[in-house]
């Protein structure tokens, strides 16, 4: 629903450094390291090394033609896979595809193992470098970080926009991650895709193209609304139907119906505080008319990052519907 705002603080090169420099002990004999032992203990380049970095593993697998790495990733650097923007990832996905050979490729699974890096490297990077407040898919739930016993915890899940089991080579890609709530990630989206539309893409324009609209029953005249059941709110897309599936998969219309009270309260406030009343309050308090209006109706500035507060898109769109700004 909301595009991710990668601020200047979001230093993607730090992410690459974390991922590419993950080290493996060449001589450790546990099962998780068997591929490293098998492939590198007898390679001259690594005879004197105790450890090997993940980027070196990727490059060496291409060089020795391990499990067709040289064919699958021809012309694709490790850095491109990790830091490529969303458009680049989309192109890589189309080129490599999702055959059973790709899904079952043990070397790909080994190099792009998300589980081992999730907590230590990936989640911590998002905690430290992106101010996360609400779910980027629905803007309903808070998914912020917090401290417990001097340790940082978080409420967000990192959804792989392109499913990591379907496209294992994108499992560590920075712009394949969308911070989201549990409901959106695990209960609703699953492995579904939305025609190259991700909040991590610079072309994701859901907020511009899709707006909440207010609908009233025939009994309501001139916003004379007595009951919450007399109103309905729905997301309507302008100019295209690109986000129709997105709205359906995340059940946005259905989920927002449970929060009609927010809109109903805005309508009742509009009845209680017409412009004449607001001007009276300005004369009584000396506070600017627009500031009083903003405080009463909880108005949202045009330049505000909508991801910072739940229901901010709903409030902003309905504010426009009611001509409160």
pLDDT tens-place values along the chain, 325 residues long: 898 988 777 888 899 998 988 877 665 555 555 666 566 655 555 555 667 788 988 998 888 888 888 899 999 999 999 999 999 999 999 999 888 888 888 889 888 989 888 878 898 888 888 888 899 999 998 887 666 666 666 678 899 999 999 999 999 999 999 999 999 998 999 888 887 689 999 899 898 899 998 877 666 655 566 666 777 889 998 877 889 999 999 999 999 998 988 888 888 888 888 888 888 888 888 888 788 888 887 888 777 888 888 999 999 998 888 877 6
Q: Are 237 and 210 in contact (CB under 8 A)?
A: yes
161 closest CA partner among 185, 144, 131 = 185
Distance in angstroms (rounded) separating the CA atoms of residues 232 and 217: 8
Q: What is the pTM of this model?
A: 0.84
Q: Compute the Cα dihedral for 120, 56, 130, 183 and give only its sign.
A: negative
Terminal C-alpha separation, the chain: 23
156 closest CA partner among 130, 190, 191 = 130
Q: Which two tokens stand for residue 189?
A: 């989206």
């Amino acid at each position: 629903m909301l595009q991710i705002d990668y601020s200047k603080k979001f230093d993607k090169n730090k992410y690459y450094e974390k991922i590419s420099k993950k080290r493996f002990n060449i001589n450790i004999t546990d099962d998780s390291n068997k591929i490293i032992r098998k492939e590198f203990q007898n390679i001259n380049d690594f005879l004197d090394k105790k450890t090997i970095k993940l980027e070196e593993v990727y490059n060496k697998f291409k060089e020795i033609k391990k499990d067709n790495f040289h064919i699958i990733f021809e012309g694709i650097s490790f850095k491109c896979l990790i830091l490529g923007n969303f458009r680049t990832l989309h192109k890589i996905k189309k080129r490599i595809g999702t055959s059973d050979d790709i899904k079952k490729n043990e070397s790909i699974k080994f190099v792009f193992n998300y589980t081992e890096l999730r907590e230590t490297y990936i989640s911590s990077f998002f905690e430290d470098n992106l101010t996360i407040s609400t779910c980027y898919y629905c803007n309903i739930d808070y998914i912020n970080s917090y401290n417990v016993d001097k340790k940082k915890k978080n409420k967000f899940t990192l959804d792989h926009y392109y499913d990591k089991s379907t496209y294992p080579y994108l499992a560590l890609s920075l712009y394949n991650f969308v911070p989201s709530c549990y409901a959106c990630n695990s209960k609703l989206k699953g492995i579904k895709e939305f025609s190259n539309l991700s909040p991590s893409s610079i072309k994701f324009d859901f907020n511009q193209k899709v707006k909440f609209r207010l609908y009233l029953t025939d009994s309501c005249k001139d916003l004379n609304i007595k009951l919450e059941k007399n109103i309905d709110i729905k997301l309507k897309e302008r100019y295209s139907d690109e986000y129709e599936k997105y709205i359906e998969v995340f059940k946005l219309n259905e989920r927002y119906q449970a929060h009609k009270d927010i809109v109903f309260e805005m309508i009742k406030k509009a009845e209680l505080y017409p412009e004449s009343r607001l001007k009276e309050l300005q004369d009584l308090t000396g506070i600017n008319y627009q500031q009083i209006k903003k405080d009463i109706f909880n108005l949202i500035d045009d330049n505000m990052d909508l991801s910072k507060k739940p229901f901010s898109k709903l409030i902003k769109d309905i504010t426009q519907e009611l001509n409160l700004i």
